[in-house]
Structure 1
Amino acid sequence: MIEAQALSKRFGDKLAVDGLSFTVKPGQVTGFLGPNGAGKSTTMRMIVGLDHPTAGVATVNGRPYRDHADPLRQAGALLEAKSIHKGRTARSHLLALAQTHGFPASRVDEVLAMVGLQEVAGRRAGGFSLGMGQRLGIAAALLGDPAVVILDEPVNGLDPDGVLWVRNMLKGLAAEGRTVLVSSHLMSEMAVTAEHLVIIGRGRLLADTTVDELIARVAVGSVLVRSPQATALRDALVAHRATVTSAEPGVLAVGGLGAERIGDLALAHGIPLYELTPRRASLEEAYMDLTREAVEYR
């Protein structure tokens, strides 16, 4: 479990994190979201002891990360994919980490296989692509078989197969009862990966909620309608002051009228309907609505 209590961090006159409190529970993937400059990376660095809080405290499994005798078994983190010695091979990079905790060399081979780098284990990491560097960083995070996994933008540079692999890996880790905190700017990916969300803006907590609860807050106000007589239906709806747009033949996006009223009008005009669906907001729409006033760099 990760707990942040009134966590603040100041850099000179810049308050990067401002009284932030939240809990990341085991058994689910928690998405950590916010605009650029919101304080996500700084918060993650404070969780793993790389930055010291100006105020407040962050704990991993009940105590500050640096106080654990076996930190790599407690939490594994990927905060910067390229924070590796470029002259070392992938295997030697992981082996150096393993030796600090007394992990066997066999564990290095296990995680290289897990992330799909076993065939390039002898190559120098400085020649890796961004995607390969991400995989090596994830391997390092998983090296200690940790109870807590913290990943900052883990799908950057990955191809579609790699993105799917990360998604399934995160869900698998959560299903094993681990605590998983992952940041991303890809709302479409968070929508199918995360169950819970912690969203910050300008260093402050904006939401600590589930994906479904966040989306339910946003009223999209449009209805998807399919009809073989879409033109006649459009005229009837416009006559009742609805706004109607169409992206393809036979399909209307209707605003200003509810689904029930649209159905009643279609019935009154003898127009058959094939679909009448109030549109649900996407996670991206809900996120943009929530963070509109918290964008640091427009």
Structure 2
Amino acid sequence: MIEAHSLTKRYGERTAVADLSFTVRPGIVTGFLGPNGAGKSTTMRMLLGLDAPTSGRAVVNGRSYAEHRAPLHEVGAMLEARAIHTGRSAYNHLLALAATTGIPARRVNEVIDLVGLREVAKKRVGGFSLGMGQRLGIASALLGDPATVILDEPVNGLDPEGILWIRNLLKGLAAEGRTVLVSSHLMSEMALTAEHLIVIGRGRLIADTSVAEFTAQAAGDVVRVRTEDAEKLRELLAGPDVTIGSQEPGVLEVTGLSSDRIGRIAADHAIALAELTPQQASLEEAFMELTRDAVEFQAPASELVAAGSEGRAA
């Protein structure tokens, strides 16, 4: 288990993390999200004892990282995959880590096979692709068979097969009862991998909730209704706490009523429905909505619109 208690980190007059508290529990994959400059990297460095907090405390499995007698057996981390001597082979890099931390050499071969680097294990790391470097970083994190795993952007540089592999690996680690904290900018991948989210912005906590609750909060309980009697149904659904929009003929977008309630009203008045669908925001949409005011650098609205138009055209 990872626990952050009122973590604060200041660099001169700039506050990178402000009174941040959260708990990462074992048995599930927890996504750690935030815009650029939100304080994610600083927070992870404090969890690992690489940065000292200005105030507050971070503990992993009940102790600070430095208090563990065998840290690599407790916490496996990857913050910078390419922080490896480029003249060493992958095998020798892992062997050196193992030798200095009391890990048997056979474990080196196990993690090399686990991350799919057997064919290049004896090659120098300097010639590795970005994806191969990521795999080696993950192998280093898992070398001590740790109870807690902390990974920063683990899918960077991986091809689709590699992304599927890391997704299944993380879920497998969580299923074994380990604590798994993963930072990523790929919202689509986090939606498929994480069950819980910790979202920060400008160093402060924005959300600490499940993925389902996070996206539902952003969706605003919108229900899409399609019927040939749209205008009649609109009149029946109207109320002081109900908002009804329409983007196309015969379709209503209703906020303030559940799909069950809308269905009952339609049935009571013999209105046939061709569609009754609760709308759910994607994780990316929810993230953009809830972190809008926490973005450090934001493109002008005209540029965002243009980018969206180009994407649709493509």
TM-score, structure 2 length as denominator? 0.83
Q: How big is each residue's C-alpha offset from its partner over 1:72-96, in whole Å with a ceiling of 9 and x where there is no partner?
A: 0010001011111111111111111
Q: Does the 8 A contact of 1:222 with 1:253 survive in 2? A: no
Identity %: 63
- Residue 131 of structure 1 aligns to which amino acid in structure 2? G
Q: Report whether the alignment pairs 1:291 with 2:291.
A: yes
CA RMSD of aligned residues (A): 2.6
Match of 1:244 among 243, 246, 251: 246
Q: Report whether the alignment pairs 1:122 with 2:122.
A: yes
Q: Give the C-alpha shift of residue 234 in structure 1.
A: 7.0
| Equivalence for 1:70 | 70
| Equivalence for 2:35 | 35
| Equivalence for 1:17 | 17
* Map 1:272-291 → 2, pairs under 5 A: 273-291=273-291
- Residue 164 of structure 1 aligns to which amino acid in structure 2? L
Q: Does the 8 A contact of 2:266 with 2:272 survive in 1? A: no
* Map 1:63-142 → 2, pairs under 5 A: 63-142=63-142
Q: Give the C-alpha shift of residue 63 in structure 1.
A: 1.1
Q: How big is each residue's C-alpha offset from its partner over 1:240-281, in whole Å with a ceiling of 9 and x where there is no partner?
A: 9964336xxx9957467965669967997x985432212122
* Map 1:226-245 → 2, pairs under 5 A: 243-245=245-247
Q: Does the 8 A contact of 2:32 with 2:182 survive in 1? A: yes
- Residues 1:226 and 1:73: Cα distance change in structure 2 (over 3 Å): same
- Mapped to 1, the partners of 2:229 and 2:256 lie a distance apart of 13
| Equivalence for 1:197 | 197
- Residues 1:67 and 1:261: Cα distance change in structure 2 (over 3 Å): closer
State the secondary structure of the residue aligned to 1:190. Answer: helix
Q: Give the C-alpha shift of residue 57 in structure 1.
A: 1.2
- Mapped to 2, the partners of 1:113 and 1:253 lie a distance apart of 54
Gaps of 5+ in 2: 299-314
State the secondary structure of the residue aligned to 2:50. Answer: coil
- Mapped to 1, the partners of 2:162 and 2:145 lie a distance apart of 21
Q: Does the 8 A contact of 2:30 with 2:181 survive in 1? A: yes
Q: How big is each residue's C-alpha offset from its partner over 1:188-227, in whole Å with a ceiling of 9 and x where there is no partner?
A: 2212211111111111111111112222323446444567
- Mapped to 2, the partners of 1:92 and 1:138 lie a distance apart of 15
Q: How big is each residue's C-alpha offset from its partner over 1:101-126, in whole Å with a ceiling of 9 and x where there is no partner?
A: 12122111100100111111011111
- Residues 1:234 and 1:53: Cα distance change in structure 2 (over 3 Å): same
Q: Give the C-alpha shift of residue 39 in structure 1.
A: 0.5
| Equivalence for 1:174 | 174
Gaps of 5+ in 1: none
State the secondary structure of the residue aligned to 2:212. Answer: helix
- Residue 31 of structure 1 aligns to which amino acid in structure 2? G
- Residue 169 of structure 1 aligns to which amino acid in structure 2? L
- Residues 1:114 and 1:234: Cα distance change in structure 2 (over 3 Å): same
* Map 1:140-219 → 2, pairs under 5 A: 140-219=140-219
- Residue 166 of structure 1 aligns to which amino acid in structure 2? I
TM-score, structure 1 length as denominator? 0.87
| Equivalence for 1:48 | 48
- Mapped to 2, the partners of 1:226 and 1:234 lie a distance apart of 7
- Residue 99 of structure 1 aligns to which amino acid in structure 2? A
- Residue 133 of structure 1 aligns to which amino acid in structure 2? G
- Residues 1:85 and 1:56: Cα distance change in structure 2 (over 3 Å): same
Q: Give the C-alpha shift of residue 40 in structure 1.
A: 0.4
- Residues 1:266 and 1:50: Cα distance change in structure 2 (over 3 Å): same
- Residue 207 of structure 1 aligns to which amino acid in structure 2? A
- Residues 1:37 and 1:226: Cα distance change in structure 2 (over 3 Å): same
Q: How big is each residue's C-alpha offset from its partner over 1:132-164, in whole Å with a ceiling of 9 and x where there is no partner?
A: 111110000000000100000111111111111
